Structure 1
Amino acid sequence: MARLSIVGVDDEYPALELIEHYCSQIADVELVALFQHPKEALDYLTKNPVDLVILDINMPFINGIDLLLNLPYKPLCIFLTMETQYAVKAFELDVIHYLVKPVDFAGFNKAISKAKDFLQFRDSMEKKKKEEYIMFKSDYIMNKILLADVRWVQGCGEYIVLVTPFKKYMILDRMSNFEEKYRDLGFIRIHKSYIVLGAHITSYDMAYVHLKDGEKLPLGRTYKNQLKSLF
């Protein structure tokens, strides 16, 4: 998991010291900066996006809620405050947690864990969205094909043929290039001339790979180990 980047903002220096002390005891977090002056924090955060902001609410010149609303992006936020009357507003702003001072390490760590879990979930969803389709040029036209519709890819010299239930696409590319480009999407090489989506494979034997739609494709001897790891 990537490190959770954090900025702390509180007009009381002891609170900043506490944030620093607690963060130093938690794995996979990076405390990027601490600010006692909210305007300075706003200027910094506007130019330097981070994953999570830990904010006091009642601060001079600009309070924590206004600071959050004035950012050009929406980071995760934990309010760390003595005020209890802003809990409903915090809920409306989708903050990840609301901590009331004084805060012990267990409560702080729980809030950070929630931020980590949310960020991991969000990243996985964004990755899933990116992986729902692939784009390629065929017959001088850019095509966008749902990933689940790719039955297999067959190598034909300087070209590859991408097979879907509706159409076959001739693409000027090599199998090795396609394999490298889309390996992270679940494609697997089963033969020097065939690549399939691992999710479409139901079984295999000494000579063939069997797909969900009933088709079977030749299995190359040198590619069996990849299938073993898949199953």
Structure 2
Amino acid sequence: MIVVAIEGYDGSGKTTLVRELVSALDRRGIRCIVVGRSAEDSNSHVAAMTAVIKSSDGGSDTLPPLADMFLRLARLHARIGVINGLDCDVVLLDRFLLYDISRVPVELCVQHAALLEQVANTLHMDLTIHLTTTFDLLWKRVTGRPVYDLSPKERRGRAYNLEGYQRFEQVLARQRLYDNLHTIDCAQPVDVVSDMALALILSAGLGDRRS
């Protein structure tokens, strides 16, 4: 089993890419399971923590930064528990540790660097795919959605999300937690992005691990 994280800021097309990859892998007879942050693709414990995190991140019920960080780490542990119980060829993660780190103040990341590294080492990550493009394009995609589809964070507006985007890109630029990180320009057509991501997954030792 190989584990692949799809990372990207809001509007980068993570959900669309995951859907395309599941179909492409299924056509090749490769068993793929998606582990996200909702009850449908994880479990009720992960979903409950996600609800609190979303309400805090840009919402009115803001958690203290340290509490937010430990709740995110608890959710990561819960998702790892789900992954460890799976029997498939490929696990696709809709965001994972790197995005969560970007939502934590830098001083807390420095203070708890050993803990973050310990969490990262709990799960062997075979491949991390980073979807990126300009913030203006991502924000155009986000604001093109119906208002009821926007998260509390997205409803905070452009300036708030630009700051979040910049923090996320900085985390990806300096990350040392995962070696096998590849960046794809998500401004390209969906089929091109999907083909590139699929090629990365197929070259990540899948054949050897299935034999």
TM-score (norm 1): 0.36
Bigger strand share? 1
TM-score by length of structure 2 reads 0.39
Larger Cα Rg: Structure 1 or Structure 2? 1
Q: Which has the higher contact order (CA 8 A, sep 6+)?
A: 2
